[in-house]
């Protein structure tokens, strides 16, 4: 075969092959976006399918050093030449288009605020879009104009977002990168207006069920919030208490009387007849959540004193009289709803307190209690960390006697145990 003819065959063969990595590389693009503090924005972009990377940094400034220390100095707070906190978003245009990213940008903050987002005030928090390719400008401006019309219909003012060509992006200090991942006990800022593009109309939520009785309301993120996920994993997944919980985003609170700012996710709100009684912005450790829930559910009661001040029920108290002869079932933590003791392990000790030979497996933990000049072993709930009572070695047939306060328990019949 002629060597030149063979070369042509090989060349056509190579051209016909498809290398997915080459195709992907040819479609990698980037845009620089500023929507207030870059910590939450960075995390939000990283959760979107098709986003390859999101890097916090500074851009669109002059005469100021592009460092966090410099841009946050008081003298630069209202300096129009100050650098903006921005995120460089790198994306694969085969998986997501620029319009979708710009839609997320507008929906995730309030672009009508000038040089601020929520409580963050200063020129470094300005809303800005800095494009690298001239062909991107038309997409950006068309999306901006469309969102302006939607904002106007909802009663909002003029968009202040500056659209400019990027001069230079400066990567922020290493401790700012993946900041939320490195700081697990906080909140994600949500300064969004609640106005969304027509292709993403929010679900209409009926809050009538929250207007009667006690409820726990969690303000969740519209996108992804690692602190919300952590609260879910640490608290909500195991919570089985009698006060129901619901989730809403900040634009789904109609008819509710809420005074706490709703831009932080999660925000945990305790409602009575639709009115906020207590609220906490940001992630809550389980122990802190249950202490707040205890105050909300128990008030200034004997049960609260037992649960959180290591108090003791009155001997033969009314709850003891009710619980000493219940039908078959389990006693659960009054706050978390987790099973603690089984009626099959209950016995009559004539002490005036509920007595059991053992707790439910992995439901409690014990620790020394040397208060009041006595050497005892305290029993606490593993789920809510409330005080339950003490364990002694004088039970029947050489078994332990778990002496438990009835006021911190609730009873569930055996027929309903499977629902826990």
Note the pLDDT tens digit of each residue in 166-201: 999 999 998 888 877 777 777 777 788 888 898 765
Per-residue pLDDT reduced to its tens digit, 54-74: 999 999 999 999 999 999 999
CATH-assigned architecture of domain 309-419: Beta Complex (2.170)
Q: What is the pLDDT of residue 202?
A: 57
Using left for φ > 0, alpha for ψ between -120 and 50, and beta otherwise, residue 182 falls in: alpha
- State the pLDDT at residue 420: 66
Average pLDDT over residues 310-315: 94
pTM across the whole model: 0.70
- Determine the CATH number of domain 209-298: 3.40.30.10
pLDDT > 90: percent of the chain: 72
Residue 8: predicted pLDDT: 39
pLDDT of residue 71: 94
Instruction: Determine the pLDDT at residue 16.
Output: 42
One CATH from 2.40.30.40, 3.30.429.10, 3.30.1060.10, 3.30.9.10 for 23-183: 3.30.1060.10
Residue 380 contacts residue 367 (beta carbons within 8 Å): yes
Confidence of residue 34 (pLDDT cuts 50, 70, 90): very high
One of 37, 188, 228, 403 is an active-site residue; which one? 37
Q: What is the sign of the dihedral through the CA atoms of 254, 260, 265 and 271?
A: negative
Pick the residue with more confidence: 371 or 211?
A: 211
339-342 and 364-369: which strand pairing? unpaired
Backbone angle region of 183, left / alpha / beta, with phi > 0 → left and psi within -120 to 50 → alpha: beta
Query: Given the structure tokens 């027929």, which residue do they identify?
Result: 415
Residue spans of the domains in the chain: they are 23-183, 209-298, 309-419
Active site residue 403: no
Question: What is the model's pLDDT at position 189?
Answer: 73
């Amino acid at each position: 075969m002629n060597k030149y003819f063979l070369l042509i065959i090989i060349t056509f063969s190579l051209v016909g092959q498809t290398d997915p990595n080459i195709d992907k590389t040819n479609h990698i693009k980037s845009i620089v976006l500023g929507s207030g503090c870059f910590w939450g924005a960075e995390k939000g972009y990283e959760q979107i399918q098709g986003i390859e990377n999101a890097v916090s940094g500074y851009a669109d400034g002059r005469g100021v050093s592009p460092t966090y220390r410099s841009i946050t100095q008081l003298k630069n707070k209202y300096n129009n030449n100050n650098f903006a906190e921005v995120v460089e978003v790198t994306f694969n245009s085969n998986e997501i288009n620029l319009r979708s990213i710009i839609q997320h940008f507008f929906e995730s903050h309030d672009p009508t605020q000038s040089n601020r987002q929520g409580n963050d005030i200063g020129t470094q928090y300005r809303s800005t879009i800095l494009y690298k390719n001239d062909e991107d400008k038309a997409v950006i401006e068309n999306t901006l104009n469309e969102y302006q019309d939607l904002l106007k219909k909802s009663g909002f003012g003029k968009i202040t977002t500056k659209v400019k060509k990027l001069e230079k992006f400066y990567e922020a200090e290493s401790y700012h990168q993946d900041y939320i991942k490195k700081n697990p006990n906080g909140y994600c800022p949500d300064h969004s207006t609640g106005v969304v593009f027509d292709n993403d109309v929010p679900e209409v939520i009926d809050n009538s069920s929250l207007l009667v009785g006690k409820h726990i309301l969690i303000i969740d993120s519209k996108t992804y919030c690692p602190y919300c996920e952590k609260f879910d994993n640490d608290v909500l997944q195991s919570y089985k208490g009698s006060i129901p919980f619901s989730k809403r985003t900040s634009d789904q609170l109609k008819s509710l009387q809420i005074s706490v700012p709703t831009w932080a996710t999660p925000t945990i709100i305790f409602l009575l007849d639709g009115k906020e009684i207590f609220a906490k912005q940001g992630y809550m450790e389980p122990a802190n959540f249950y202490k707040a829930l205890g105050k909300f559910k128990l008030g200034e009661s004997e049960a609260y004193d037992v649960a959180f001040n290591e108090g003791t029920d009155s001997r033969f108290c009314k709850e003891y009289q009710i619980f000493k002869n219940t039908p078959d079932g389990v006693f659960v933590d009054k706050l978390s709803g987790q099973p603690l003791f089984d009626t099959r392990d209950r016995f009559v000790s004539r002490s005036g307190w509920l007595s059991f030979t053992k707790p439910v497996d992995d439901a409690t933990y014990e620790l020394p209690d040397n208060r009041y000049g006595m050497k005892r072993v305290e029993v606490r709930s593993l789920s809510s960390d409330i005080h339950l009572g003490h364990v002694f070695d004088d039970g029947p047939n050489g078994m332990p006697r778990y002496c438990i306060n009835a006021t911190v328990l609730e009873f569930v019949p055996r027929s309903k145990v499977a629902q826990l």
